[in-house]
Chains A and B, each alone.
Chain A
Amino acid sequence: MPTAVPVQLIGPDGERVATSARAMPSDADLVRAYTALVAARRLNDQAYALVRQGRLAVYPSSHGQEACQVAAAQVLDAADWLFPTYRDTAAVVARGVPAGEVLVLLKGDWHSGYDPYTHNVAPQATPLATQLLHAVGVAHAARLRVEPTVVLAMCGDGATSEGDFHEALNFAAVFRAPVVFFVQNNEYAISVPLARQSVAPSLAHKGIGYGIRGERVDGNDAAALLTVLGDAVTRAREGAGPQLIEAHTYRMQAHTNADDARRYRADADVAAWEHRDPLARLSTYLRGRGLLDDAGQQVADAAAEELAAGMREELFRDVTPDPADLFTHVFAVPTPQLIEQSAVVADEQSREGALR
């Protein structure tokens, strides 16, 4: 049974929570997570600015959810797989995919801008919950191929209402697939609050009907996330089958820049979450333990700034996408029709003037 209260190791005040029996991650892991948190926050803010500057079409930000993003990447081994959504750009970057490649999708040059096999990161999924079944497939194949792979599959609170979410949990359970389903419950699906989405005691409870262990964790506590997700990955790797983790967090900004959150929630609701900020919390904890000082902060900031500068450079670089690409990747061997159609475009291109 999921616990009544989400696992928390560091409270919003930055103090160790005395009541938790769960182990604290190592100092080194926490410092590593903090550096990644600073980078993730910078990535979110830079991407937001790039939308305003017209360099990105749209950006679904994980501002406020960075602890989830960072922990999801950090608990995986290199050979494991990550299945992210449109909101999980920061997790994909934390996993090592260059930000410029990830943002190709939102820049509008192509769909997936990275090769999923390079870092074992599936293309960011937009059709909600569909990717969860793919994650089960990758995990089941790994078992059949006797590989020690674990798959971490992400989705939002709203996506747990889709049929595919339920099919994925059941398939994973029946096949004992090594999948960690990681639900970031940020309390909103665009305008729809969690209360309109589900009346279950928690989203972690949704595992019960499928025979899956479900656990709840404070989604703004990087330490708790590292422990809870890390343990879930270990259990899955050791053959305990799928795991369901619900992280309680909050979408601090609008759904995307195109959304107007004031139409459905009060600013005061958002303000109530300010003091639970995942960065401030870990920073206070680390400073209190002498694991972070001004010099350490500067190092983290400098790395984040380098990431942001790289993003700006990539996104202000105008590439002219080649329309021929539209026809090359549909099939291994283009159909005769595609060859014909590609020639039509090439002919138009060779003529003078812009197309009307």
Chain B
Amino acid sequence: MSTTTTQPAPTGHQKLTMAQALNHALRDEMSADPSVVVFGEDVGALGGVFRITDGLTAEFGDTRCFDTPLAESGIVGMAIGMAMNGMRPVVEMQFDAFGYPAFEQVVSHVAKMRNRTRGAVTLPMVIRVPYAGGIGGVEHHCDSSEAYYAHTPGLQVLTPADAADAYGLLRAAIASPDPVVFLEPKKLYWAKEEVDLSAEVPGIGRAVVRRAGTDATLIAYGPSVPVALEAAAIAAQEGRSLQVVDVRSIVPFDDETVAAAVRSTGRAVVIAEAPGFASVASEIAARVTERCFHSLAAPIARVTGFDIPFPPPKLEHFQLPGVDRVLDAVDALQWETS
């Protein structure tokens, strides 16, 4: 039914969008492990509204990739049972805010099952969530919901910022013995880049330095990583050397890599789209401060979304942390005292 189903096997370099890389990851895990099943709303014939599951039903049959009745709590609840009985479900919440009906299942069961049963029952399942803004979406289509999940002990929370990571992290998530909330920055779905699918990608729990720099560290994840990289490129022209760290894995969090990076520069700005109050960005700032206090020349700054409901399309650019806000924050890192 779909035209883009047959994609080349994952060998060597190829130009892929993040969406295609995610599709490859699902395909490869489904091929490697017959217990991997994919389900959700419109993931079958349609291939998902973002086409991440494109062609999976055609290739693996509708017992491996299938549409469910329209109920997110049902999707996650059933995935829990299937994971309890030998399968590895990968489910899709169609958009960030449409994952909320499943909140009860996620918080009370997905996150707690291992602990409640002293490790007897584990839930190897992945909840994929297209998230965040930057696509001109109307209300309920642009939430950055990572803090809800990150604040719930028992959930691993991952978010890739490029196609290679999307592939490697999603495969790692599916292979993980514990549940993962996999947040896909939808504004990055269509960016094409050269990817080597056979390359080793750092796994769950590892942050990476995306750009070397000596004057200050920009810490970002998901949709904010390209913003940080662009800011660093502009700063370089202005004679300031900014290092960029991609967090990748919000939970578990890589204190070691992030703190080492900040110690090397002595200054840091955390960048995230979500409202800043009680956020993942706040957590990162606090952790870095605790670990790097004596190496810091300025307090850690945060450039985040404002503490408002996500704006309508024509106002969203005011909410998204842009390059200028990042550079303003860098400028304010008390350079005169160093």
Instruction: Mark A residues whose CB is within 8 Å of B.
Output: 57-58, 105-111, 126-128, 158-159, 161-164, 189-192, 196-198, 259, 263-264, 321, 323, 325-327, 330, 335, 337-338, 341, 345, 348, 355-356
In angstroms, Cα B309 to Cα A326, docked, is 8
Interface locus among B65-73, B109-117, B189-197: B65-73
Interface string of B298-320 (1 = CB under 8 A from A): 00000000111101111101110
Cross-chain contact B97 with A264 (CB below 8 angstroms): no
Cross-chain contact B324 with A126 (CB below 8 angstroms): no
- Given known contacts A127-B140, A191-B46, A109 and B314 CB-to-CB distance under 8 angstroms: yes
Cross-chain contact B1 with A264 (CB below 8 angstroms): yes
- Given known contacts A57-B138, A126-B140, A191-B42, A162 and B70 CB-to-CB distance under 8 angstroms: yes
**Which residues of chain B are near A327, meaning CB under 8 Å?**
306, 308
A-B pair count, CB < 8 Å, reads: 113
Cross-chain contact B306 with A341 (CB below 8 angstroms): yes
Tally B residues with Cβ within 8 Å of A.
42
B5 CB to closest chain A CB (Å) equals 11
**Which residues of chain A are near B318, meaning CB under 8 Å?**
323, 326, 345
**Which residues of chain B are near A126, meaning CB under 8 Å?**
138-141
Closest 4 CB pairs of A and B: A108-B313, A191-B46, A161-B69, A158-B70
Closest A residue to B327 by beta carbon equals A356
Closest A residue to B313 by beta carbon equals A108
Cross-chain contact A196 with B140 (CB below 8 angstroms): no
Cross-chain contact A330 with B308 (CB below 8 angstroms): yes
- Given known contacts A190-B42, A190-B49, A326 and B308 CB-to-CB distance under 8 angstroms: yes
Residue in A323, A335, A355 whose beta carbon sits within 8 Å of that of B307 in the complex: A335
Cross-chain contact B97 with A321 (CB below 8 angstroms): no
**Which residues of chain A are near B74, meaning CB under 8 Å?**
161, 163
- Given known contacts A111-B139, A197-B70, A192 and B42 CB-to-CB distance under 8 angstroms: yes
In angstroms, Cα B114 to Cα A337, docked, is 39
**Could you tell me which residues of chain B, from 36 to 69, have a CB within 8 Å of some CB in chain A?**
41-42, 44-47, 49, 67, 69
In angstroms, Cα B138 to Cα A337, docked, is 25
Cross-chain contact B324 with A338 (CB below 8 angstroms): no
Cross-chain contact B41 with A192 (CB below 8 angstroms): yes
**Which residues of chain A are near B325, meaning CB under 8 Å?**
348, 355
Residue in B69, B71, B307 whose beta carbon sits within 8 Å of that of A196 in the complex: B69
**Which residues of chain A are near B307, meaning CB under 8 Å?**
330, 335, 337-338, 341
Closest A residue to B77 by beta carbon equals A163
Cross-chain contact B45 with A263 (CB below 8 angstroms): yes
Cross-chain contact A263 with B1 (CB below 8 angstroms): yes
**Which residues of chain A are near B314, meaning CB under 8 Å?**
107-109, 321
Interface string of B96-108 (1 = CB under 8 A from A): 0110110000000
B315 CB to closest chain A CB (Å) equals 5
Cross-chain contact B308 with A264 (CB below 8 angstroms): no
Cross-chain contact B311 with A326 (CB below 8 angstroms): yes
In angstroms, Cα B313 to Cα A345, docked, is 17
Instruction: Mark B residues whose CB is within 8 Å of A.
Output: 1-2, 41-42, 44-47, 49, 67, 69-71, 73-74, 97-98, 100-101, 136-141, 277, 306-309, 311-315, 317-319, 322-325
Cross-chain contact B312 with A108 (CB below 8 angstroms): yes
Majority SS at the chain B contact face: loop
B93 CB to closest chain A CB (Å) equals 12
**Which residues of chain B are near A341, meaning CB under 8 Å?**
306-308
B322 CB to closest chain A CB (Å) equals 5
**Which residues of chain A are near B2, meaning CB under 8 Å?**
263
**Which residues of chain B are near A107, meaning CB under 8 Å?**
314
Cross-chain contact B139 with A264 (CB below 8 angstroms): no
**Which residues of chain B are near A108, meaning CB under 8 Å?**
136, 138, 312-314
Besides the known contacts A57-B138, A263-B2, A337-B307, 11 further A-B residue pairs in the complex with CB atoms under 8 A apart: A57-B137, A111-B138, A126-B139, A163-B73, A190-B46, A190-B49, A192-B42, A264-B1, A264-B45, A264-B46, A341-B307
B192 CB to closest chain A CB (Å) equals 20
Cross-chain contact A263 with B138 (CB below 8 angstroms): no
A86 CB to closest chain B CB (Å) equals 8
**Which residues of chain B are near A197, meaning CB under 8 Å?**
69-70
Cross-chain contact B136 with A330 (CB below 8 angstroms): no
Cross-chain contact A263 with B70 (CB below 8 angstroms): no
Closest A residue to B46 by beta carbon equals A191
**Which residues of chain B are near A348, meaning CB under 8 Å?**
324-325
Cross-chain contact A192 with B319 (CB below 8 angstroms): no
**Which residues of chain A are near B323, meaning CB under 8 Å?**
356
B227 CB to closest chain A CB (Å) equals 9
**Which residues of chain B are near A337, meaning CB under 8 Å?**
277, 307
Cross-chain contact B100 with A161 (CB below 8 angstroms): no
Cross-chain contact A355 with B317 (CB below 8 angstroms): yes
Cross-chain contact A189 with B70 (CB below 8 angstroms): yes
Cross-chain contact B69 with A321 (CB below 8 angstroms): no
Cross-chain contact A109 with B312 (CB below 8 angstroms): yes
In angstroms, Cα B45 to Cα A345, docked, is 44
Residue in A105, A164, A338, A355 whose beta carbon sits within 8 Å of that of B308 in the complex: A338
Cross-chain contact B315 with A191 (CB below 8 angstroms): no
Closest A residue to B277 by beta carbon equals A337
Interface centre among B46, B49, B71, B74 (most CB of A within 10 A): B71
A165 CB to closest chain B CB (Å) equals 9
**Which residues of chain A are near B49, meaning CB under 8 Å?**
190, 259
Closest A residue to B43 by beta carbon equals A191
